[in-house]
């Protein structure tokens, strides 16, 4: 067994790549970050200082890095979704293995191209389906795998995206316009959820997918009377509108800091005055939420038919009061339902005997005592971030990874399901064969 730390180079030193790379600080015996490739000199400098490698291991692009040959065991690729092909393929071709952020491709053509590249090079490419690693979903998967609720008849998943998350990421932010980011909201936000459905239903495959959805709330005709264009410059509703940038970002300056204040990264410790000035500028985050260039859906429903005869549904609803993921799985022997943010689920098992519950079933309530967004001993994403990074090390070393580990080949079904769901939605909900 190789006990040396896996050496890795960060490509795209954004929020997610840095989160996964933090394993090198918490568990240096597992991972060592030895370089960075990013066009932003500030991000390169910060990564170099944080992980302690030399300046000659800083590169402006994946292409520049690839020209040097293989300088480490693996790449942690956290570039934007539409950059994965251009950054991943040159590095796979020179022999790197890779941890690749989800979604790994923005359309079916790119997905197949990247899969073929991994096959050609015999590359180990692991996809960051981090929710698989949370104690909540991992525990549910174990229950299903052990046959506790029998064969699955129906699986229902729901993701409610909070109003402040929706406005920050999918109306004002990076994933608001599919022509710019090249992803739909279902792909950017819910490839996690569709992947979970396919993972929990791994004994069968989808045969047909149908979907409906659209942009309901944030369009110019829904703007309140008298609304301005820049909340903190020309809007009389700046102190009362739920989506006012003053109320979302100045009153809560730390909540979405890694997105909203990204353009202030050249300032070591930006003050509240710096942030107010940004909210009075042409920053995309300063705009009236009803007058942005967003074109992605804010709600979408997906229906899946499986080979086994089972069915599945996923509901994405943006603009809710709070973030929430729920799941309900019904099997031939029982069912499981739970709330991810509360980290609690219930197992019901059919039992008609006299000593059973008054509804003639056995009831087991599981409280994992971990909050959905907790950061700490378990890492973020409900305990998934650090577990994923540690499993990547096992994957690269050739050790037996966990039940959650998903290679690019495992991830294809979930990604193809999203592409086909969007195809159905764009064509009026007509079912698309898998």
Q: What is the DSSP string of 185-221?
A: HHHHHHHHHHHHHHHHTTTS-EEEEEEEEE--S-SGG
Parallel, antiparallel, or unpaired: how do β-strands 361-367 and 344-350 relate? antiparallel
Give the whole-angstrom CA distance, residue 32 versus residue 48.
Answer: 12
Confidence at residue 201, expressed as pLDDT on a 0 to 100 scale: 96
Mention every residue, 6+ apart, whose C-beta is less than 8 A from residue 121: 92, 93, 95
The answer to whether 141 and 199 are in contact (CB under 8 A) is: yes
The answer to whether 115 and 412 are in contact (CB under 8 A) is: yes
Parallel, antiparallel, or unpaired: how do β-strands 206-214 and 432-433 relate? antiparallel
Which has the closest alpha carbon to 76: 58, 88, 60?
A: 88
Give the whole-angstrom CA distance, residue 335 versus residue 250.
Answer: 44
Mention every residue, 6+ apart, whose C-beta is less than 8 A from residue 311: 153, 154, 155, 303, 304, 305
Give the whole-angstrom CA distance, residue 395 versus residue 391.
Answer: 6
Mention every residue, 6+ apart, whose C-beta is less than 8 A from residue 261: 253, 270, 275, 278
Confidence at residue 49, expressed as pLDDT on a 0 to 100 scale: 97
Give the whole-angstrom CA distance, residue 105 versus residue 122.
Answer: 19
Q: How many CB atoms lie within 10 A of CB 109?
A: 11
Q: How many helices (H) and strands (E) does the chain have?
A: 17, 15
The answer to whether 120 and 408 are in contact (CB under 8 A) is: no
179-202 pLDDT, tens digit per residue, is 999 999 999 999 999 999 999 999
Structure tokens at 172: 């004002």
Q: Per-residue pLDDT for the chain (434 aa), expressed as one digit of tens each?
A: 567 999 999 999 998 999 999 999 999 999 999 999 999 999 999 999 999 999 999 999 999 999 999 999 999 999 999 999 999 999 999 999 999 999 999 999 999 999 999 999 999 999 999 999 999 999 999 999 999 999 999 999 999 999 999 999 999 999 999 999 999 999 999 999 999 999 999 999 999 999 999 999 999 999 999 999 999 999 999 999 999 999 999 999 999 998 999 999 889 899 999 999 999 999 999 999 999 999 999 999 999 999 999 999 999 999 999 999 999 999 999 999 999 999 999 999 998 887 766 678 899 999 987 654 433 333 455 568 889 999 999 999 999 999 999 999 999 999 999 999 999 999 999 999 99
Mention every residue, 6+ apart, whose C-beta is less than 8 A from residue 255: 164, 248, 249
Confidence at residue 268, expressed as pLDDT on a 0 to 100 scale: 87
Give the whole-angstrom CA distance, residue 1 versus residue 295.
Answer: 50
For residue 427, CA distances in Å to 170, 221, 243, 407 come to 22, 25, 31, 31
Mention every residue, 6+ apart, whose C-beta is less than 8 A from residue 157: 193, 196, 197, 312, 313, 314, 315, 325, 326, 327
Domains by residue range for the chain, with CATH: 6-101 (3.40.50.720), 131-218+294-379+407-433 (3.30.360.10), 228-291 (no CATH)
The answer to whether 231 and 248 are in contact (CB under 8 A) is: no
For residue 317, CA distances in Å to 31, 160, 161, 191, 301 come to 38, 5, 6, 14, 8
């Amino acid at each position: 067994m190789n006990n040396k730390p896996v050496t890795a180079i960060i490509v795209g030193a954004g929020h997610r790549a840095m989160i996964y790379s933090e394993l090198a600080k918490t568990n240096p015996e597992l991972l060592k970050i030895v370089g960075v490739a990013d066009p932003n000199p500030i991000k390169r400098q910060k990564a170099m200082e944080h992980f302690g490698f030399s300046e000659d291991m800083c590169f402006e692009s994946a292409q520049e890095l690839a020209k040097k040959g293989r300088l480490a065991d693996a790449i942690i690729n956290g570039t934007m979704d539409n950059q994965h092909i251009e950054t991943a393929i040159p590095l796979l071709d020179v022999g790197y293995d890779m941890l690749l952020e989800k979604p790994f491709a923005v359309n079916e053509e790119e997905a197949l191209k990247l899969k073929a590249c991994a096959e050609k090079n015999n590359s180990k490419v692991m996809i960051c389906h981090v929710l698989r690693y949370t104690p909540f979903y991992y525990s549910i998967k174990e229950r299903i795998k052990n046959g506790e609720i029998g064969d699955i008849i129906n699986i229902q998943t729901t993701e409610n995206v909070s109003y402040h998350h929706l406005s920050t990421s999918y109306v004002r932010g990076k994933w608001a316009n599919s022509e710019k980011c090249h992803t739909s909201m279902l792909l950017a936000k819910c490839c996690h959820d569709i992947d979970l459905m396919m993972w929990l239903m791994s004994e069968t495959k989808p045969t047909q997918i149908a979907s409906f959805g659209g942009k309901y709330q944030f369009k110019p005709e829904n703007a309140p009377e008298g609304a301005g264009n820049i909340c903190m410059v020309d809007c009389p509703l700046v102190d009362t509108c739920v989506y006012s940038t003053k109320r979302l970002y100045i009153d809560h300056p730390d909540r979405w800091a890694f997105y909203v204040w990204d353009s202030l990264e050249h300032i070591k410790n930006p003050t509240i005055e710096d942030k107010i000035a940004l909210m009075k500028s042409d920053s995309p985050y300063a705009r009236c939420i009803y007058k942005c260039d967003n074109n992605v859906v804010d709600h979408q429903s997906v229906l899946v038919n499986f080979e086994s005869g089972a069915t599945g549904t996923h509901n994405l609803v943006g603009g809710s009061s709070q973030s929430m993921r729920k799941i309900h799985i019904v099997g031939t022997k029982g069912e499981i339902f739970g709330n991810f943010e509360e980290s609690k689920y219930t197992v019901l098992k059919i039992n008609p005997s006299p000593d059973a519950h008054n509804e003639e079933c056995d009831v087991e309530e599981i409280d994992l005592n971990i909050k959905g967004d907790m950061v700490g001993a378990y890492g973020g994403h409900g305990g998934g971030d650090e577990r994923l990074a540690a499993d990547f090390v096992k994957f690269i070393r050739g050790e037996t990874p966990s039940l959650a580990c998903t290679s690019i080949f495992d991830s294809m079904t979930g990604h193809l399901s999203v592409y086909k769901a969007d195809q159905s939605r764009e064509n009026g909900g007509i079912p698309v064969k898998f």
